[in-house]
Amino acid sequence: MRQIQKIATVFRLLTVVLFIAILSISTLAQGQDTSIHSIVRNLSEIKFAPFPGLPTNAPGFVQTGDPKNGSSIILGKMDAGCIIPWHWHTPNEHLMVVSGVATIQMKGETPMTLRAGSFAMMPAHHVHQFRCMEDCVLYIYSDAAFDIHYINEQGMEISPDEALKAVKETTIKEPQ
């Protein structure tokens, strides 16, 4: 009987070690930095900066990750009246409203009002638009490199300049 208990204990231990090894390999394969430590920031300490392709009145701050090369969490801030017209993203986009009031509309659907605590998830390539009604602060999580592809009424991709000009916004240019 003791022999069976010893074998069972060894088996459980090997299972745990194997599980940890698989998680470690999975994390490394996804390019995640396992050396990251705790991050704590207050909103008052954050220095917002413009994001290329977005309106000038929609700056952001990268909380974690690398939006150019992989997943990230961005804290965004938008002035009342700011519009991000019809667009889609290559990654899935998860949006959480911290403060303010906004509307989000998926192509072919009724606009929805978002307030503090609201959540929206747009799958990859899902066409939507966003309008900030009252000054907004929001978190945007992208599960891959962040991009934005604006489209016109015919569904054809257009430049950020063209898209934002149509809603009386101006865009941030990529640094040369």
Domain CATH for 137: 2.60.120.10
pLDDT(55) > 70: yes
Higher-pLDDT residue of 40, 175: 40
Instruction: Give me 66's structure tokens.
Output: 């690398």
> H or E element: which one contains 162?
helix 160-166
Q: Are residues 15 and 71 in the same domain?
A: no
Evaluate whether residue 174 is within a structural domain.
no
The predicted-structure confidence for 117-141, as pLDDT tens digits, reads as follows 999 999 999 999 999 999 999 999 9
Question: pTM score > 0.85 for this model?
Answer: no
Residues 6+ apart with CB under 8 A from 86: 107, 127, 128, 129, 150, 151, 152, 163
Residues 6+ apart with CB under 8 A from 148: 53, 54, 84, 87, 88, 89, 160
- pLDDT, residue 174, reads 60
pLDDT(16) > 70: no
- Number of structural domains the chain divides into: 2
Instruction: Give me 22's structure tokens.
Output: 């698989």
Q: Are residues 118 and 156 in the same domain?
A: yes
> Measured in whole angstroms, how far is the alpha carbon of residue 79 from the centre of its chain?
19
The residue assigned the tokens 């659907």 is 109
Q: Are residues 67 and 147 in the same domain?
A: yes
Per-residue pLDDT band at 147 (split at 50, 70, 90):
very high
Q: Are residues 84 and 149 in the same domain?
A: yes
CB 28 within 8 Å of CB 150: no
Q: Are residues 61 and 10 in the same domain?
A: no
Q: Domain containing 143: what range? A: 43-166
